[in-house]
């Protein structure tokens, strides 16, 4: 099942993508796609609906972030062995954790706006994991049972802010619009093997990132086990799980960063595609 939120920012409605790719309205059944309706029972009730009985959404409305009222936006850094190699970083012994401010969250096709003074804004295609049921001290053997589904995330990063402004990575990760999420939430039953999903990112039509979740250092299950031992994971929390090689800061002989007018296009196998145009704050 592919769940989606559509409409103006702040006034999104819940929807479902049927097997033909048609957007259908779910407003008669749920008020929004948020943590309180991501339990297995709630998702099963939505899955039992006949998509043909749902109203077709006319036109081409804006698509919002696939989860509303996201709780925690947790991010794992340096979690692909081939990305760690391109940056010259050591393989971490434990998952590296940072947070992205919820004010960074936008729809999958909304503009990415570089903040004032930005000269090192970079791209990162990532697998997003959406928690469906409360997780505390879970093991990797049952960790995925707590997942509602998966989505595409662009972990946009301002590298100068991230590494040179004294402090933690969050400074370069939390700028407004730096968290495009979606286009849809694909429920976990539709993802046969989350550790074998191809992923890519293009800038202006040129392939920059090519990867697969099979090169993760810590699997999705291991990440959930680790994080749930530190804090309770609640329904509606989102975890981004790292990026494969091909980011701008890793390009040799000189890094390449985003500029106004650039267009990013991100895809993860079975999870859809995002496209963002880059703008800059006045």
Q: Reply yes or no on whether the pLDDT at 167 is more than 90.
A: no
* Mean pLDDT along residues 44-73: 97
Q: What is the pLDDT of residue 89?
A: 77
Over the stretch 85-97, which tens digit does the pLDDT of each residue have?
A: 777 778 899 999 9
> CATH for 73-280, among 1.50.10.20, 3.40.50.1100, 3.90.850.10, 3.20.20.190?
3.90.850.10
Better-predicted residue by pLDDT, 91 or 143: 143
> Binning pLDDT at 50, 70 and 90, where does residue 170 land?
confident
Q: What is the pLDDT of residue 166?
A: 78
* Mean pLDDT along residues 37-42: 97
Q: What is the pLDDT of residue 12?
A: 98
Q: How far is CA 84 from CA 19, 80, 164, 215, 225, in A?
A: 38, 6, 19, 11, 22
Over the stretch 249-259, which tens digit does the pLDDT of each residue have?
A: 999 899 999 99
Q: Parse the chain into domains and list their residue ranges.
A: 2-53, 73-280
Q: Reply yes or no on whether the pLDDT at 21 is more than 80.
A: yes
Q: Reply yes or no on whether the pLDDT at 112 is more than 90.
A: yes
Q: What is the pLDDT of residue 50?
A: 97
Q: How far apart are CA 214 and CA 235, in angstroms?
A: 26
Q: How far apart are CA 180 and CA 100, in angstroms?
A: 11
| β-bridge pairing 96-99 and 73-77 | antiparallel
Over the stretch 149-158, which tens digit does the pLDDT of each residue have?
A: 999 999 999 9
* Mean per-residue pLDDT over the chain, rounded: 96
Q: How far apart are CA 199 and CA 94, in angstroms?
A: 24
Instruction: With 0.85 as the threshold, say if the pTM is over it.
Output: yes
CB 225 within 8 A of CB 265: no
* Mean pLDDT along residues 130-149: 98
Better-predicted residue by pLDDT, 4 or 172: 4
């Amino acid at each position: 099942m592919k769940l989606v939120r559509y409409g103006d920012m702040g006034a999104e409605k819940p929807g479902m993508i049927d097997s033909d790719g048609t957007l259908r309205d779910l407003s008669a059944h749920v008020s929004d796609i948020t943590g309180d309706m991501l339990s297995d029972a709630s998702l099963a009730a939505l899955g039992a609906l006949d998509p043909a009985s749902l109203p077709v959404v006319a036109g081409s409305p804006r698509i919002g972030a696939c989860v509303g009222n996201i709780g925690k936006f947790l991010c794992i850094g340096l979690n692909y062995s081939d990305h760690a190699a391109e940056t010259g970083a050591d393989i971490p012994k434990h998952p590296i954790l940072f947070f992205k401010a919820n004010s960074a969250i936008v729809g999958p096709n909304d503009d990415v706006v570089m903040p004032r003074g930005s000269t090192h804004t970079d791209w990162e295609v990532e697998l997003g994991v959406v928690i469906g049921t409360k997780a505390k001290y879970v093991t990797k053997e049952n960790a995925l049972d707590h997942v509602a589904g998966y989505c595409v995330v662009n972990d946009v990063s301002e590298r100068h802010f991230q590494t040179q402004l004294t402090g933690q990575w969050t400074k370069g990760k939390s700028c407004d619009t730096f968290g495009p999420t979606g286009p849809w939430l694909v429920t976990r039953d539709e993802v046969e093997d989350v550790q074998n999903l191809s992923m890519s990112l293009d800038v202006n039509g040129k392939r920059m990132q090519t990867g697969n979740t099979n090169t993760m250092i810590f699997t999705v299950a291991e990440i959930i086990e680790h994080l749930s031992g530190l804090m309770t994971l609640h329904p509606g929390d989102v975890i981004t799980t790292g990026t494969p090689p091909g980011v701008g800061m890793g390009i040799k002989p000189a890094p390449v960063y985003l500029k106004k007018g650039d267009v990013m296009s991100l895809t993860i196998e079975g999870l859809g595609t995002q496209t963002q145009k880059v703008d800059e704050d006045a």
